[in-house]
Amino acid sequence: MEDQAEKLREIMRQKTSEAKTEPSAAEASARVAEARPAPVVKSKNGKTRIITVTSGKGGVGKTNVSVNMALAYARLGKKVVVMDADLGLANVNVMLNMIPKYNLYHVIRKQKTMKEIMVETNYGISIVAGASGFSKIANLTEEERQNFIEELETLSNADIIIIDTSAGVSSNVLDFIAAADDAVIITTPEPTAITDAYGIIKIIATEYDNLNMGLKLVVNRVKSAAEAKKVSDRMTTIAGQFLNLKVDYLGYIYDDATVSQAVLRQKPFMIIDPKCKASLCIQHIVGRMEKSELRESGGFGSMLKRLFGKA
Ligand SMILES: Nc1ncnc2c1ncn2[C@@H]1O[C@H](COP(=O)(O)OP(=O)(O)OP(=O)(O)O)[C@@H](O)[C@H]1O
Ligand SMILES: [Mg+2]
């Protein structure tokens, strides 16, 4: 799997440069629903839903989306864990002004239990810091793997696990994408962000031939719903035409000054102002997620299978 991932990174490097020429082709008519409030449906069978948030380009809003989606889910009464898969940058911790002392690495090394590393926030969600110190889950020894599986299982009473990743195909991002029920891909309307988002979609398509996962697009920092729809039409059409891949348009988030103010204050914008434009968009997005039910084979057990080959 290590070799495969290295190969993928190489493909990513090649394909993203190819991808730069393709997106200009289609600006077409995919019928995409606008983000709107939706009746809330509980995930099928009450299973844990694993949502990986990723992007091609950095700085497009992954961590903001992860944390604030978690809060929107918590407002619906869900038990939510946010896992920071990119400890190097400690994104989630910084956004919540918290410094977890331990991370998944300590769990894998049996130095700590999941309970000991999980940090409750004041906002009704819990966070788990990712495992810096090992680059691939596939590199774990059999014993480490067993420890990790046993401890991960203690997260199975969560309704939702949101995994915030670093941008692009690096370290264990692909593992986490593979493990997810839903991969939420974030882009902004910037051409570079769109091209890179297309690049990561292409990698996912190349890597996972019979991908049994919902690929979902969020367009962040838009000025209007029309601008977002234009971006998503372009992306979903190209993914369909060139990759034969279905990408669902999950919604958009307005460019909103509250977001950067919230980041500076190290508090989620959903807490600073649950009625600001960005917060309302996030709540719509979560409403739409709830409407798209978890597929039968999804959930926690299959996450373990996809991560480790067996549960
Ligand atoms: N909807 C928005 N409106 C205004 N500003 C935004 C919005 N979304 C993100 N930003 C700005 O972009 C910055 C980066 O956001 P964030 O840290 O969530 O991105 P990221 O994709 O997680 O970045 P990285 O790739 O470095 O992890 C924020 O600090 C904020 O200033
Ligand atoms: Mg981030």
pLDDT in tens, the chain (311 residues): 444 445 444 544 443 344 333 333 333 222 222 222 322 333 334 588 999 999 999 999 999 999 999 999 999 999 999 988 865 556 888 888 887 888 888 888 889 998 899 999 999 999 998 876 555 666 778 888 788 788 888 888 899 999 998 776 654 677 777 778 899 999 999 999 999 999 988 888 877 766 667 899 999 999 999 999 999 999 999 998 888 888 999 999 999 999 999 999 999 999 999 999 999 999 999 999 998 876 666 777 777 777 776 44
- What does the alpha-carbon distance between residue 180 and residue 102 come to, in Å, rounded to a whole number? 23
CA of 241 to the centre of ligand 2 (A): 30
Residue 5: count other Cβ atoms within 10 Å of its Cβ: 20
**pLDDT for the residue 89:** 55
Best of 64, 69, 94, 258 to mutate for ligand 1, by most ligand atoms within 8 A of CB? 64
Q: What is the pLDDT of residues 269-304, one digit of tens each?
A: 999 999 999 999 999 999 999 988 766 667 777 777
- What does the alpha-carbon distance between residue 214 and residue 264 come to, in Å, rounded to a whole number? 33
The two structure tokens encoding residue 144: 């480490």
**pLDDT for the residue 109:** 83
CA of 301 to the centre of ligand 1 (A): 32
**pLDDT for the residue 137:** 66
**Residue 223 phi/psi, 5° resolution?**
-95, -25
**3-state SS assignment for residue 129:** strand
Residue 309: burial class (beta carbons within 10 Å; 0-12, 13-18, 19+): exposed
Q: Whose CA is nearest to atom 16 of ligand 1?
A: 61
Report the nearest atom of ligand 1 relative to the CA of 59. Answer: 23
Q: Which residue pairs, CB below 8 angstroms and at least 24 apart, start in 200-203?
A: 200/12, 200/54, 200/55, 200/56, 200/168, 200/169, 201/235, 201/239, 201/243, 201/245, 201/247, 202/15, 202/16, 202/19, 202/242, 202/243, 203/8, 203/11, 203/12, 203/15, 203/169, 203/174
Q: Which residues, judged by CB distance below 6 Å to any ligand atom, belong to the binding site of ligand 1? A: 55, 58-64, 89, 91, 166-167, 220-221, 253, 255-256, 259-260, 263, 278
Residue 304: count other Cβ atoms within 10 Å of its Cβ: 18
Residue in 234, 208, 232 with CA at minimum distance from that of residue 218: 232
Q: Whose CA is nearest to atom 23 of ligand 1?
A: 59
The amino acid that residue 183 corresponds to is: A
- What does the alpha-carbon distance between residue 193 and residue 280 come to, in Å, rounded to a whole number? 23
**pLDDT for the residue 27:** 30
Best of 255, 263, 272, 276 to mutate for ligand 1, by most ligand atoms within 8 A of CB? 263
**pLDDT for the residue 38:** 28
**pLDDT for the residue 209:** 63
The reported pTM is 0.82
Please state the separation of Cα 30 from the chain's center in Å.
24
Report the nearest atom of ligand 1 relative to the CA of 186. Answer: 21
Catalogue all structural domains in the chain, each as residue range(s) with its CATH number: 2-13+52-308 (3.40.50.300)
Strand partners, 52: 163, 183
